[in-house]
Chains A and B, each alone.
Chain A
Amino acid sequence: MLAVLAPLAAPAGGAAELSGYLSFEPRVFFDAPLRPTQPDAGLSPAAVAAPEWRFDAGDGTNRFTLAPYFRVDVDDDERTHADLREAVWLRIGDTWVSRVGVGRVFWGVTESRHLVDVINQTDLVEDFDEEDKLGQPMLNLERWVGPGSLGVFVLPGFRERTFPERTARLSGAVPVAADAVGYESGAGSRRTDLAVRWYGALGGWDIGVSAFHGTSREPRLLPGLDSDGEWRLAPYYDVIGQVGLDVQYTRGAWLWKLEALGRRGHGSDFGAAVAGFEYTSFGIGGSGADLGLLAEYLYDGRGPGAPPTLYDDDWFGGVRLALNDAAGTAILGGVIVDGNTVLGILEGERRLTGTWKLEAEVRWFRGSDADDPLLAGFRRDSFATLRLAWYF
């Protein structure tokens, strides 16, 4: 594949740069599946290609970025997918910065849940943790306002959330039928959404204030019968309005974090928040390594008219160890607890050479329907992923 793409890496004029990775990432499921229609594949291989080209006009004021993404998964045809993560022209003017094309944007400060981060749709087949995002068509204008920057986003076109194949792992107690999508907006997936955010740093404070009006990235999941008489969930995307706040106060070895939102359009108006801290003990024992402790409380006041969430009244606790060694070894362990329902997380990474890297991820589910029916649907889907990646 690299040989095919190589001519793109050296266009005439300007500076071009190619980076990215290829990875092989088998997944191992520890338990037999929940539903009999799910094949019992204990080992599930997958591979990813994620190249990124950047073409710079030369003076640093114009740049075009092209970042496609490809995944092949042996056991999940929905997880086998391609996406255009970025195809965006960045122009840095004297007063305005503009981004036109397909891009990615991140808002927020907390670790266990990205509450206010609303621009990009979640690429849920990538990972359960909702951290992977699909590219979003956008016109973004940004300028300095006071000590920070104000960004306005016009978002033409909507990306549907991806869901695992109906017979695949991690498809929940009742699978989602991705082809039975409904929209509140008469324009369907062609509605143009709007968002705005100001972000700046003031002394020890990092503050982001945002607003969004448009089609919710979170669908409601409406139960129904498909043509074969099987239960399935149909995604339905409402139009919502939302205001968000993300704040971090940093002092000494402490980071204090808050994300909060208020939303209209998903049943009754409701608020949600994530608040917590991150404390790091630096250079432990004279070793140069860091040990961090993280704790966050997650609250979500949504009612039955809103999409379901795992994080209505939960605690997150975690420990992060970064050795700061030549191999960049780091380990993160954590749990999200909701009554008797537990989601355990273990992540580790280590560089093998300058270009190869090994990563491991474990997601461990324990739940009962009474505490959290949504998470309980995954109680047989605990898994470990081993990722061997080659960076170029």
Chain B
Amino acid sequence: MGKLMAFGALGLGLVAAAAASASAPLPDPAQPEARGRAIAERADRRDDGFGSSLTRLDMVLENAEGRTRTRRLTWKTLEVAEGDRSLVVFHEPRDIAGTALLSHSRPGGDDDQWLFLPALKRVKRIAAANRTSAFVGSEFSYEDLMPERLDDFDYRWLRDEACGEWSSHVIERRPRYADSGYSKQELWLDREALRLLRVDYYDGRDRLLKTLSASDFRIYQDRYWRAHTLIMNNLLTGKRTRLAFEPFEFGAGLDARDFEPAALRRLR
């Protein structure tokens, strides 16, 4: 699930980049593009080898008046060399219980997505050009949630500064793919473990639209950091969406075949 599930790492695609090792110094601030890209690569590599993960979460939608609605889902992620795969199954709201969304990220940004509709027993490929669509009424768009790849963006280091309790790098990334809802994103990553702490999303007129903040980090297998609370604030509407994750399970017996569209109708 790209940056959100692997919060602390950027896109999960394995990139055979000829980058310096993690211990080597980062490129000089006088080369902000190289430095930004190197930070992103290192964050990406930190998550290499996680294999697969499974978590359950509540997605709490809150409108400007503070009224909430909750979605409950299971989120499975599979690490694949050419682009990660995710399988999201809804449990609540009850009218869409059993509905599943399967995503395969592809080089070049043209992903594949299938829906499974349990009432009809139907598997339907949907257009993955849906990046800017709101995900089930939340402040997250599909673009914010679906698997992503390191090469989907151009990077630039902006500055180093404190972010809460952490000393962090701030980098900017601009999408290389069409149909993005954003002109750019600014990312805060802590210097120690390169966990993604915060993202600011800007629209086509470079106006700040949304801010995402991560907290409640826990480490798995002494290596993989995951945030367990994510809050997306929409600055235009005053709405926000909070994701509250249960502990992640790694290597939870997930079979790569479970992430094939032909396997979806076994879900219900």
A contact set with B: CB distance below 8 Å: 19, 21, 54, 65, 90, 92, 97, 104-106, 108-109, 131, 144, 147-149, 199-201, 204, 206, 248, 250-255, 278, 280, 282-283, 286, 288-290, 322, 324-328, 351, 354-355, 357, 389, 391-392
Residue in B63, B125, B260 with the greatest tally of chain A CB atoms within 10 Å: B125
Flag whether B262 is at the interface (Cβ < 8 A): yes
Q: How far is the CA of A288 from the CA of B121 in the complex (A)?
A: 27
B141 close to A283 (CB less than 8 A) = yes
Chain B residues within 8 Å of A391, by CB: 93-95, 97
When A324-B133, A325-B134 are in contact, do A199 and B262 touch as well, CB less than 8 Å? Answer: yes
User: Is B266 in contact with A283, judged by CB distance below 8 angstroms?
Assistant: no
The answer to whether A106 touches B133, judged by C-beta atoms less than 8 angstroms apart, is: no
Q: Which chain A residue shows the least CB distance to B93?
A: A354
Contact B110 A251 (CB under 8 A): yes
Is B129 a contact of A324 with CB atoms below 8 Å? Answer: no
B106-145 with Cβ < 8 A to chain A: 110, 112, 114, 120-137, 141
Nearest chain B CB to A246 CB, angstrom units: 11
Contact of B120 with A252 in the complex, beta carbons under 8 Å: no
Question: Across the interface, do B121 and A106 meet the contact criterion of CB distance under 8 Å?
Answer: yes
B19 interface residue, CB < 8 Å from A? no
- Which 7 residue pairs spanning A and B have beta carbons closest together? A283-B132, A288-B134, A391-B94, A326-B137, A324-B134, A149-B262, A253-B129
Q: Are B95 and A282 in contact (CB under 8 A)?
A: no
B94 in contact with A355 (CB, 8 Å) = yes
Q: Known contacts A252-B110, A282-B131: does B262 contact A201 (CB below 8 Å)?
A: yes
A-B contact pairs, 27 of them (CB 8 A): A19-B94, A19-B97, A21-B94, A21-B95, A90-B266, A92-B266, A104-B121, A105-B121, A131-B120, A148-B262, A199-B261, A200-B262, A201-B125, A201-B262, A251-B110, A252-B129, A255-B125, A280-B127, A282-B133, A283-B130, A288-B132, A290-B133, A325-B134, A326-B63, A351-B93, A355-B93, A392-B94
CB distance from A390 to the nearest CB of B (A): 9
New contact pairs (11) apart from A106-B121, A201-B262, CB-CB < 8 Å? A19-B98, A106-B122, A108-B122, A131-B120, A199-B262, A200-B262, A280-B130, A289-B134, A290-B130, A328-B95, A328-B96
Main secondary structure of the interface of A (DSSP, over half): strand
CB distance from A361 to the nearest CB of B (A): 15
Asked whether, in the complex, the Cβ of A206 is within 8 Å of the Cβ of B261, the reply is yes
The answer to whether A324 touches B93 (Cβ under 8 A) is no
Are A255 and B141 within 8 A (Cβ)? no
A282 and B130 contacting across the interface, CB-CB below 8 Å: yes
Answer whether residue B203 sits at the interface, using C-beta atoms and an 8 A cutoff.
yes
Q: Is the CB of B127 within 8 A of A254?
A: yes
Question: Smallest CB–CB gap between B96 and chain A, Å?
Answer: 7
Q: Which residue from chain A places its CB closest to the CB of B239 in the assembled complex?
A: A326
Query: Considering only CB atoms, which chain A residue lies closest to B135 in the complex?
Result: A324
Q: Which of A255, A282, A354 contacts B92 (CB 8 A)?
A: A354
Residues of B within 8 A of A147 (CB): 260
Smallest CB-CB separation from A117: which chain B residue? Answer: B122
Q: Are B70 and A354 in contact (CB under 8 A)?
A: yes
CA separation between A351 and B71, bound complex, in Å? 13
- Considering residues A105, A144, A354, which has the most beta carbons from chain B within 10 angstroms of its beta carbon? A354
